[in-house]
Structure 1
């Protein structure tokens, strides 16, 4: 068995950790699979690889937004269950609508072969 190593800065490593976690893999397993996939297809262009990186960043950003919305919805539900006013409810629902549109845009750009908006 061989155990190659690589160096990366903190930001790159954290991106790798998040990507591995999103796939329910260890960092080592994720890194090995990603490297082997790239090695098996040497015809891929740098633009394709950059597009995938942009797509992953877009997905991570959307996941973060959805987590925040979930927290806000929990606060709205707790307030309403306690017969308290929840003036932030409309804003939370508007954010749900916006993130839904963002998901649609990201998916459509992926299907069209384009890169997500920054």
Structure 2
């Protein structure tokens, strides 16, 4: 048996990552550890790069979830005949999120092509 300890932030990240992969935290941890153990030639920079990618993807997911909630509120208000003064801000937020996804994707693709 191997036991691991995490601070609250690390534990939350692990649980979120496991959930995103439809895995239990223990299963996710075992999968990740075994994958790393089988590939000892990877550099610390590559591992750090993967962490940055995962962190950015989770940040994007959170941001898009918040925007989705705002859009649902706008739609509900419009359907009830209410005035929705923040519609433009919500639409602009969608545009910014799309640009962020595009920029991140392009950066990731460019860095992946340099590695190969």
**Shift of residue 78, structure 1, vs aligned partner:** 0.7
| Matched residue SS, 2:46 | helix
**Shift of residue 103, structure 1, vs aligned partner:** 0.6
2:53 is aligned, of 49, 52, 55, to: 55
Structure 1 residue runs of 5 or longer lacking an equivalent are none
Taking the aligned partners of 1:74 and 1:83, their CA distance within structure 2 comes to 14
Taking the aligned partners of 1:110 and 1:41, their CA distance within structure 2 comes to 21
The root-mean-square deviation of aligned C-alpha atoms, in Å, is 1.1
Matches within 5 A, 1:74-85: 74-85=72-83
Question: Counting helix residues as a fraction of each chain, which structure ranks higher?
Answer: 2
Which string of whole-angstrom CA distances, capped at 9 and with x for unpartnered residues, describes residues 72-111 of structure 1? 0111001100111111111111100100110111111111
TM-score (norm 2): 0.92
TM-score (norm 1): 0.90
| Matched residue SS, 2:111 | coil
**Shift of residue 35, structure 1, vs aligned partner:** 0.5
1:42 is aligned, of 40, 43, 68, to: 40
Aligned length: 112
Taking the aligned partners of 1:65 and 1:8, their CA distance within structure 2 comes to 25
Structure 2 residue runs of 5 or longer lacking an equivalent are none
**1:105 and 2:103 matched:** yes
| Matched residue SS, 1:112 | helix
Counterpart for residue 27 of structure 1: 25
